[in-house]
Structure 1
Amino acid sequence: MSVPPLTLVCLSLATLFVALLPISLYRRWRKPFAFDWRDTVAGIAVFALFATVLERALNDYVLHENADFAQALSNPVAFVIYGALVAGVCEEVGRYVAMRIIARRAPRTPNAPLEGSGLAYGIGHGGAEAWFVGVLVQLQWIVFAVLANRGQLDQHLSNLTMDSVLRVHLILASLSPLFAGVFAIERIAAFVFQVGLSVLMWRGVRAGSKSILPIAIAAHAIVDVPAAMYQAQLVPLVAVDTLYVVAAVVVAIVLFRTCRSERSVARAV
């Protein structure tokens, strides 16, 4: 089999756009919001530890190693509740701890916008998700597609079982320009949500709110409910993506207005 050149180009462009989005935003906003690179690194580290290590280890135990839990989660409603909560708890606890540490540092720049640390952290956290969950995965499929077009894929996958090789071929056969567009939309929306959740958490931590952690966990869980419902085959993908696009636009508008007002206040002081 082979992947059409148009599909390969679209997938490559979508992957490149997702890869460059957090980098370009960091470079563009670094000076206006007086970013501290340590805040962004903290966001990357928290996602890497709490989402890719702790959350995956918990999911592996609950879904594969514990028969009782796995059986209970075979119920679609239970799976949706678990899937929405586990990401919220793991990521928001990590975000909360990191921002408590960030908040202890003295301001670096006089009259710097108050949302700077939240935005810098959010770009790191959301950028790490964009790369780990999106870019690196799609790069693998791009490589597989190139190998398939050269007739070298089966040789490259010779160490896998026949079922795994067949699965790779089926996924490659399903790739299309539409798939590339859906991938870009989903990753951009996820990035916007992560930045929004980071600003929300930063505002709560900065204000000394004791309820910000459960509020952030609930907000994160609500964001993850549609994706969990799709995984449980309760709703179609088009409905989930449409909802995410609308919600991401709303969050982006709120972030833009909030951060623009913060910059105006900082300049006026």
Structure 2
Amino acid sequence: MVSNLSITFMIITIIISVILPISITIYLYKKYKISFKSIFTGIFVFVLFVLILESLMHKYFLVTNVNTTKLLENPWAYAIYGAFAAGIFEECGRFLAYTLILKPYRRWEDGVAFGIGHGGIEAILIGGATALQNLIFALSINKGTFEGQFAGKLPTYMIEGIRSSLINAPSYHFLIGGIERLFALCIQVGLSVLVLYGVKNKKYIYLLYAILLHALVDFPAALFQKGIITNLWAMEGIVAVAGISFLVYTIRSKKRGILHD
């Protein structure tokens, strides 16, 4: 049986990953009249630059090209590659969107709206979708219908692996994903404001700053993925510090009026 606490944390993660970004969007629209064009452009950039273009590059370098595949088996090389790939694709996507699509939308509110769209769809597709799948599987396991549901569709070892992971994983694992998405949303909003500041003031060095900061945040996560960093709390602590720092930057940038009309 999957514990009730695990199921509760799955539901909380769904709320954080799906309901919270939507609620923040509604609040900011009522308070600041944020632009829906900026929000949907943020969503578009994430889908195009991350889910399509970056994924195609990963497929080539990590699967198709034998030479780079072997090179990137080294965890440090993989971490550097992965961190900078994310930084370059996402921040260049923001830069191009601001310069080509959102020329009239260069207020602080527009940068926040872009970040909400970008980070919100990321939270929904990564955190929300995973938590929802886990919840469906967990309820199926507790009802005793899980094995029969996938019999003949998945190998037995895979079915048992999913079942075992949901039953035996510590309950807090199912909450960490939601909390991580919350901090990641703060990071995406902060980076969106940072790049917009550079575009609006023609200080294009800020694009480089954004790429480097993005890579710096993603680097430990890549090392954790490869087993170099083994302490989950240390890795999540880095994400939390980054998220809080970008949140503070976003709020202070509003107070300082760095993107005033």
Alignment partner of 1:190 is 2:184: yes
Which amino acid is the alignment partner of residue 252 of structure 2?
R
Alignment partner of 1:140 is 2:133: yes
Match of 1:90 in 2: 89
Secondary structure of the 2:31 match is: coil
The answer to whether the Cα contact below 8 Å between 1:99 and 1:202 also exists between their aligned partners in 2 is yes
Match of 2:218 in 1: 224
Alignment partner of 1:256 is 2:251: yes
Structure 1 distance, partners of 2:157, 2:55, is 24
Alpha-carbon shift at residue 261 of structure 1 (Å)? 4.0
Structure 1 distance, partners of 2:156, 2:54, is 30
**Pick aligned residue for 1:130 from 123, 148, 170:** 123
Match of 1:242 in 2: 237
Q: 1:45 to 1:209 in 2, by over 3 A?
A: same
Match of 1:205 in 2: 199
- 5+ residue gaps in structure 2? none
Q: Deviations for 1:140-159, whole angstroms, at most 9, x for unmatched residues?
A: 11101111111111122221
TM-score (norm 1): 0.89
TM-score (norm 2): 0.92
Alpha-carbon shift at residue 205 of structure 1 (Å)? 0.8
Moved more, 203-212 or 155-164: 155-164
Structure 2 distance, partners of 1:147, 1:210, is 52
Percent identity reads 32
Q: 1:210 to 1:258 in 2, by over 3 A?
A: closer
Q: 1:51 to 1:210 in 2, by over 3 A?
A: same
Instruction: Please provide the CA RMSD for this pair.
Output: 2.0
The answer to whether the Cα contact below 8 Å between 1:96 and 1:201 also exists between their aligned partners in 2 is yes
Q: Deviations for 1:143-192, whole angstroms, at most 9, x for unmatched residues?
A: 01111111111122221123322331232124443113311221111111
Number of aligned residue pairs: give it. Answer: 259
Q: Deviations for 1:75-108, whole angstroms, at most 9, x for unmatched residues?
A: 1110111111111111112111111124422x6x
The answer to whether the Cα contact below 8 Å between 1:114 and 1:262 also exists between their aligned partners in 2 is no
Structure 2 distance, partners of 1:260, 1:174, is 47
Structure 2 distance, partners of 1:91, 1:167, is 34
- 5+ residue gaps in structure 1? 108-112
